[in-house]
Structure 1
Amino acid sequence: MLLTSKRISPNGLRVFESAARHLSFTAAAKELRSTQSAVSQQVRALEEQLGLQLFDRIYRGVRLTESGQALCEAVQAGFATIESTIERLQQRHRNPRLTLLTDFSLASYWLLPRLPAFRQRHPHIDVRIMTNQGGFDWREQEVDIAIVFADQRGLEGIPRLLDEEVFPVCSPGFLAEYGPIDDLASLGEVPLLTLTADQGQKWLDWPGYFERMGGPLHQAPSELTFNNYPLLLQVAIAGQGVGLGWRGMVENQLERGMLVGLESLSLSTDNGYGVIDIHAEDQSPAKQAFLEWILTSD
């Protein structure tokens, strides 16, 4: 008789999974609020039904056979699928939830300050934000909307959220000590704070900035390098150097006088942030409300 024609007990699989995870019938019995003998009997019944030995009984314990290990992995994957499906079904009866993916900088300096306005307008929508400081592949994430930084080619066919405009920023104290910094020559002589792009990110760095501006290479003897933009801005605020400020990211620090923008040295590129609707076939009211809001937010 084929296995598919047999009725496998879901409870037997649940008992087997617990025993396999603990490698102990006693521990499985404790977890399942049963007895060691009952667990042993149910495992034995499953083995007889399958015609397979799932455990080797060894001194003071058990260990999985090759068949047992394969079945354990399959059962755990199946249970995980069932649990995620139940979660999705239950979610439909709760507040709708949107999962967003973007980089840490945009989330910190652009999205989060504006998000209260969306939540006030749509208090029934739960928003979950996932961030990554480096490059990320939104295709591999379970998200609804991705806000990505890309070059002109990467932004083709998707709505733009922000264009890339950058200008040097520093603290008022740093400018008083090293200033005036009003041209590329004077900028090239001061300590610079560098944001790395070692994961293939498209944002502008100092070499790219000087090249596009047609100026000399940076000649300062010292340079601080970061892979975290919020940390770079904190160091700039502390007066340790000049960093690149992105339009849309540094307005709060400029308005509060924590940073000074050297906007005469501003540079715009074809890069920017775009909004990707991951599952365009899903036209849920919650997602449509968020897309409409974010693409019209100031």
Structure 2
Amino acid sequence: MPLSAISLNALRAFEAAARHLSLTRAAAELHVTQSAVSHQVRGLEEQLGVSLFRRSTRGLILTDEGQALAPTILEAFAMMERALDAVSATGPAEIVNLGVVGTFAVGFLFERLAAFRAHHPRVDLRIMTNNNKVDLWTESLDLAIRFGDGAWHGVEAHRLVDAPMTPLCAPALAALLKTPADLAAHPLLRSYRSQDWPAWLKAAGVPGIPARGPLFDASTLMIQSAMVGEGVALAPPAMFRRELAEGRLVQPFDVLVDTGCYWLTRLFSKPLTPGVRAFQDWILACTAPHR
């Protein structure tokens, strides 16, 4: 089908709906009504003779035909925007949407961002923190920094920072911990990663101690609880150097266990734009001494 037969507005509506997987969010971005976006997408489907989306209770789902078309259309609009920016002295910076697990954001990233902005002033970095449960596609993220083993389906993963874990707690509680067996008398603060405490307790020679304590969906909150004496947290000391140096946290034992590390991830189907590449190259250089 010749491109001249397809409405640019219809392609733009499809591109926005495919990125957001939501007619409502696509309409808000394009400053039109939801029915207008739906009408444009329906018209494109009729011209092509295929369905591009299926509707579910969670929003839109791309059909096989939609998945085949979306990467090319997304990249085409991104290329046009970059070209327009290049010839416009006052054009907007390239937006890069980054998802990052809160622990890494607070413990490593934030204190270094000024250097990135100084070297890449035309990259508009939009940061969304999360509790490591992230969906690059549905959240329209260009990149995501997450903790784990690097084996995520459909993504390119670059190892950033090794982060072995060990118990961390307030100084007063640390004074009561002479051996790992003493942990049995205190709450063991837990994150969503239920495998971490059993792995550390086994490495420390006390596998029979049950990990009983409050459950947190974010390690940053778990550490805040540990600092006020609510229990012992299992976390990577590399992400809490400031708190350890200031004496607000104490590492009572030398035993560390490797349960994963931090990775920079990107969907294979997402274009590697100049802004995305700039951040990727910068963060890999920053983290090189830590892996």
Instruction: Say yes or no: TM over 0.5.
Output: yes
* Contact kept in structure 2, 1:189 and 1:219, CA below 8 Å: no
The structure 2 residue matched to 1:192, chosen from 178, 182, 188, is 188
Residue in structure 2 matched with residue 117 of structure 1 by the alignment: 115
Provide the residue aligned with 2:163 in structure 1.
164
- Structure 2 residue matching 1:138: 3-state secondary structure: coil
Shift of 1:74: 4.6
Change (3 A) 1:234 1:79: farther
CA contact (8 A) 1:146 1:278 kept: no
Please state whether the residue corresponding to 2:164 is helix, strand or coil.
strand
Gaps of 5+ in 1: 6-71, 198-202
Alignment partner, residue 242 of structure 1: 232
2:262 counterpart residue number: 273
Q: Provide the rounded CA distance (Å) in 1 between the counterparts of 2:134 and 2:156.
A: 19
Q: Rg: which structure is higher?
A: 1
- 8 Å CA contact 2:188–2:213 kept in 1: the answer is yes
* 1:219 to partner: Cα distance: 5.3
Q: Give the ranges of 4+ consecutive aligned residues of structure 1 lying more than 4 Å apart after TM superposition.
A: 78-81
Return the offset for 1:100: 0.6
State percent identity of aligned pairs.
28
Residues in 1 aligned to 2:99 and 2:148: alpha-carbon distance in whole angstroms: 14
AA in 2 matched with 1:170: C
Match of 2:206 in 1: 215
SS at 1:248's partner residue?
Answer: helix
Counterpart of 1:97? 95
Residue deviations 1:44-78 (CA, integer Å, cap 9, x gap)? xxxxxxxxxxxxxxxxxxxxxxxxxxxx8652435
Query: Among 93, 106, 109, which residue is 1:108 paired with?
Result: 106
* 1:122 shift after superposition: 1.9
- Which residue is equivalent to 2:19? none
Measure how far apart 1:228 and its partner are: 2.4
Matched, 1:285 2:274: yes
Within-5 A mapping of 1:245-260: 245-260=235-250
Q: Could you tell me which amino acid in structure 2 is paired with residue 161 of structure 1? A: L
Residue deviations 1:107-137 (CA, integer Å, cap 9, x gap): 2322222212211222222100122215222
After TM superposition, give the deviation of residue 254 of structure 1 in Å. Answer: 0.9
Change over 3 Å in CA distance of 1:74–1:288 after alignment to 2: same
SS at match of 2:173: helix
Q: 1:196 to 1:146 in 2, by over 3 A?
A: closer
Q: Taking structure 1 as reference, are residues 276 and 134 closer, same or farther at Cα in structure 2, changes over 3 Å only?
A: closer
Q: Counterpart in 2 of 1:296?
A: 285
> How far off is 1:285 after superposition?
2.7
Match of 2:36 in 1: 75
Compared with structure 1, are the counterparts of its residues 240 and 139 closer, same or farther at alpha carbon in structure 2 (3 Å cutoff)? same
Alignment partner of 1:173: what SS? helix
Q: Is the 8 A contact 1:100 1:130 kept in 2?
A: yes
Other-structure match for 1:46: none
Query: Superposition RMSD on alpha carbons, in Å?
Result: 3.5
| C-alpha deviation, 1:154, in angstroms | 3.8
Partners of 1:103 and 1:292 lie apart in 2 by 19
User: TM (normalized to structure 2)?
Assistant: 0.62
- CA-to-partner distance for each residue in 1:140-171, whole Å, 9 max, x for gaps? 33121122222254499632012230011111
8 Å contact kept, 2:156–2:267: no
1:264, distance to aligned residue in structure 2 (A) = 0.8
Any unmatched runs of 5+ in structure 2?
6-32, 43-73, 86-90
Q: Whole-Å Cα distance in 2 between the matches of residues 100 and 196 of structure 1?
A: 22
Which digits, 9 at most, give the CA deviation of each residue in 1:209-257, with x for residues without a partner? 223444232258x622222222211111112211112143211211221
